[in-house]
């Protein structure tokens, strides 16, 4: 990730952020994609939520 594109985005008054379209296209994240938000020591991580619930 050394050559990762860096962009600045703004949090809206509703707490929403808009991910740049280039990132959404590369990740194949369309409208309605569910993402997990994980706080890490280095920042915030977004990753696709599992399609199915976890089972034993």
Output the six-digit token pair for 45. 């991580």
Query: CA 19 to CA 24: how far, in whole Å?
Result: 7
Query: CA 51 to CA 19: how far, in whole Å?
Result: 21
Global pTM reads: 0.72
Choose among 29, 23, 30: nearest CA to 5: 23
Output the six-digit token pair for 23. 């990132």
Query: CA 29 to CA 48: how far, in whole Å?
Result: 8
pLDDT on residue 3? 58
pLDDT in tens, 6-41: 889 999 999 999 999 999 999 999 999 999 999 999
Output the six-digit token pair for 8. 């600045």
5 pLDDT tier (thresholds 50, 70, 90)? confident
């Amino acid at each position: 990730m050394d050559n990762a594109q860096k962009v600045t985005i703004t949090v809206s008054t509703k707490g929403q952020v808009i991910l740049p379209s280039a990132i959404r296209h590369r990740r194949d994240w369309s409208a309605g994609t569910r993402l997990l938000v994980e706080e890490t020591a280095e920042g915030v991580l977004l990753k696709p939520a599992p399609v199915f619930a976890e089972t034993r």
